[in-house]
Amino acid sequence: MKLAVVSAVILVVVFVAWPVSDDDTKSWFPLDNLLSLNYYDKSCPNFEKIVDTKVRQWTKSDPSLGPALLRLLFHDCGVTGCDPSVLLDYEGSERRSPASKTLRGFELIDDIKSEMEKACPKLVSCADILAAASRSATYQLGGPYWPNAYGRRDSTNSYARDVEKVPSGRRDITGLLETFQSYGLNVLDLVVLSGAHTIGKAYCGTIQSRLYNFNATHGTDPSIDPKFADYLRRKCRWASETVYLDVETPVVFDNQYYINLQKNMGVLTTDQELVKDPRTAPLVKAFAEQPAQMFRHQFAVSMAKLVNVGVITAEDRTGEIRNVCSKSNSRPY
């Protein structure tokens, strides 16, 4: 069956079956059978409360940290799984890679871990903290809530060379689909998780080639709406500047991102490719035209799948519970 047809079938299933509220979704969520929704109920009952409180404190002072936490999670899970190797900080680690230099949120995760060590010493992994903090940030931004299962372990190694596995803003849909399928995710997850761009910003350096040096024939990517291209050029005079990924409702977690794509107002190349490719275009159209609740529900389901990608559990015997999120307990520094 061709992927375009698969997209249409998935679309019908989602539209017919999606629940009417965020609270009516638990049965939809795929959970790793080695993780548990009740993992910390007895050993660290205030785990999620501590995470939520810290995220609220930090994002109140700096609202941009909410989208930054989501991005940090995506970059972690997109390399070797949700392990969280991206937090390890030493020469040659993912965190020291040039491709990771714009990642943020490390200090917030460290603060949560420090507080957790006071309440529940040596019990809570940094992997579980990052998963919980990302959900908390999404929810506090007005996004959906999803049940998180816990019991992850932390990796002991991190390699800068692995960062190239993370999907970039210039990949084509075929490349993105191959990457997502290697994670056990599908075309629906690709379109839905791209919808995280309903919030947050991009550095102008990532889109300057679209605006000024697209190819030998066009200086500007012809798929961009001309007025929107003018707007981006005004906002992006320097590579270090930033632009909202959703310029219409940049701080609202809604389906406006997909509406923008229908108008050729995608900021990243990969954004606009979603509406051009027949495998993903039907899903973009559906999320643009149907109530935002449809997107919110499916985003929660896809996030629950993402945070279970490549997790390390106690049975693997290859992980640990780090004492400090930026350092492995077993590695000399």
79 is in an annotated binding site: yes
**What is the gyration radius of the CA atoms in the chain, in angstroms?**
20
225 is in an annotated binding site: no
* Among 75, 95, 113, 322, the one annotated catalytic: 75
175 is in an annotated binding site: no
248 is in an annotated binding site: no
Q: Where are the alpha helices (DSSP H) in the chain?
A: 3-17, 47-61, 65-80, 106-119, 126-140, 173-182, 187-194, 208-212, 226-235, 256-262, 269-276, 281-289, 292-306
217 is in an annotated binding site: no
221 is in an annotated binding site: no
242 is in an annotated binding site: no
Task: State the Cα–Cα distance between residues 170 and 206, nearest whole angstrom.
Answer: 8
Mark whether 75 is an active-site residue.
Answer: yes
From the list 128, 95, 79, 90, the residue with the least C-alpha distance to 331 is: 90
249 is in an annotated binding site: yes
What value, to the nearest 5°, has the Cα angle with vertex 93 and ends 91 and 95? 105
Q: Could you say which DSSP state residue 202 is in?
A: E
83 is in an annotated binding site: yes
Tokens of 325: 């999120």
Please enumerate, by residue number, every residue annotated as part of a binding site for Ca(2+).
76, 79, 81, 83, 85, 94, 198, 246, 249, 254
Q: Which residues are catalytic?
A: 75
Residues placed in the known binding site: 76, 79, 81, 83, 85, 94, 167, 197-198, 246, 249, 254
Binding residues for heme b, as ranges, are 197
